[in-house]
Amino acid sequence: MYFLGIDTSCYTSSIAVVDIFDNIIYDGRKLLEVATNSKGLRQSESVFQHSNNLPKLCAEAMDSVDSKQIACIGVSTKPRLVEGSYMPVFTSGHNLAKVISSCIKVPIIECSHQQGHIIAGAWSINKQYADNYLVYHISGGTTELLKVDDKNQAVEIIGGTEDLNAGQYIDRVGVSLGVKFPCGKEMDKLCSAFKANSIELPISVRNTVLSFSGPESHVQRLIQKETAVDEAFKAQIAVSVFLNISKAIEKTIFNASSHTKIKDVLMVGGVASNSIISKILQDSEKLKGLGIHINISKPQYSSDNAVGAAIYAKRAYQNFGGLNGQH
């Protein structure tokens, strides 16, 4: 028995197939193309690219298993599990799920993109949480600190950014430095290539809420003043931004854990897999001193994927026979 997962985010088309034991049978992804010097894609452009990418991914996924053995389809239909959460990109995957469902006569089980991240992240490190735990979803589109109750399928936002997402902060700075969008991976590589000293940047944290607009403006002024924007300078700015994000995240985790008494924290999302950010948080003596355990999902499953949607569908099918899905 197999379970098909579909996710169509702002920058990645993804389809996955898992078996009853959560083994990955197929994991196909296609990054959407972003023009040089661009700061992103319009939703309409993303939807268009999804329509071009999905047929090939779907064909490969269906060829990987006997379609008669597919029990149900999991698909992310919205960014988050909150009322009013919507992005046009997710209609691409939802519509494909409807077509497949009508052809092979299996139910659709809907989830949010964020739920997919959480499930894939925990699965990637073989982590099972018995009680409530905290999740920090840090990506280009989201920077949210969540209290998660798997038993009751409840997700509560208890902190995060009040303006820029961490990924937006990184990308805006990266584009100003001439780095190709999305900028995170290339800026991470710059930090590895050049052992640059960091520049101290302002940190804006209020309890569990952080702000990146002030630090981003500060960095932009530094870039504008610099006469020689060489690779070493780019690395210095990159490491400074990553350290700035790390320290802000660290403070909000500390404050959230102090308030909720929850010690387990799962980090998911593309930014969470950054080598500097992940190391600082895992090595933090401040967090260890409070007994906080930082678990960071494997990089391959921190980024956008459909594995989480497939596993979500499998669990729902097992627990509820697919009755909570839509057909």
DSSP 218-248: HHHHHHHH-S---HHHHHHHHHHHHHHHHHH
220-233 burial, b for 16+ CB within 10 Å, e for fewer?
eebeeeeeeeeeeb
Distance of CA 311 to the CA centre of its chain: 16
Indicate if 218 and 241 belong to the same structural domain: yes
Enter the DSSP assignment of 90. H
* Same domain as 74, residue 203: no
Residue 236 and residue 100 share a domain: no
Q: pLDDT digit string (tens) for 150-207? A: 777 788 999 999 999 999 999 999 999 999 999 999 999 999 888 878 999 999 999 9
User: How many CA atoms does the CB half-sphere of 185 hold within 13 Å?
Assistant: 9
Dist. CA 322–CA 327, nearest whole Å:
9
Asked if residue 213 belongs to a domain, the reply is: yes
142 and 267 fall within a common domain? yes
Q: Give the pLDDT confidence score for residue 319 in this predicted structure.
A: 86
**Same domain for 252 and 311:** no
Q: What's the pLDDT at 223? A: 97
How far apart CA 121 and CA 266 sit, in angstroms, is 8
Q: For residue 323, name the pLDDT band (cuts at 50, 70, 90).
A: very low
- How many domains does the chain divide into? 2
Would you state the pLDDT for residue 321?
61
Mean pLDDT of 275-297: 97
Same domain assignment for residues 220 and 310: no
- Residues with Cβ within 8 Å of residue 266, at least 6 apart in sequence: 118, 121, 122, 127, 129, 133, 134, 135, 136, 148, 295, 296, 297
Instruction: Show Cβ contacts of residue 324 under 8 Å, excluding neighbours closer than 6 positions.
Output: 109, 316
What would the 3-class secondary structure string for 101-130 be?
A: HHHHCCCEEEEEHHHHHHHHHHHHCCCCCC
| CATH code of residue 50 | 3.30.420.40
Identify the pLDDT of residue 179.
94
**H or E stretch including 52?**
helix 43-63
Average pLDDT rounded to a whole number, residues 205-233: 96
Residue 161: closest CA among 221, 217, 220, 206: 206
- Write down the residue that tokens 């997710």 correspond to: 90
SS3 of the chain: helix, strand, coil, percent, to 5: 45, 25, 30
**Per-residue pLDDT, 128:** 85
Over residues 137-148, mean pLDDT: 94
Buried residues in 196-214 as b, exposed as e (16+ CB within 10 A): bebeebebbbeebbbbbee
Question: pLDDT class for 327, splitting at 50, 70, 90?
Answer: very low
Asked, for residue 327, whether it belongs to a domain, the answer is: no
In percent, the amount of the chain with pLDDT more than 70 equals 98
Are residues 225 and 152 part of one domain? yes
Q: How many helices (H) and strands (E) does the chain have?
A: 11, 12
Angle at 144 between CA 140 and CA 150, to 5 degrees: 120
Do 185 and 150 share a structural domain? yes
Asked if residue 210 and residue 281 are part of one domain, the reply reads yes
By CB atoms closer than 10 A (0-12, 13-18, 19+), residue 4 is: buried
Q: Which domain holds residue 67?
A: 2-120+303-320
pLDDT tens-digit readout, 9-66 = 999 999 999 999 999 999 999 999 998 878 889 999 999 999 999 999 999 999 999 9
pLDDT exceeds 70 at position 315: yes
Q: What is the mean pLDDT of the chain?
A: 94
Whether 304 shows a pLDDT value over 90: the answer reads: yes
Whether residue 234 is found in the same domain as residue 100: no
Q: Domain check: are 192 and 286 in the same one?
A: yes
Q: Are 88 and 176 contained in the same domain?
A: no
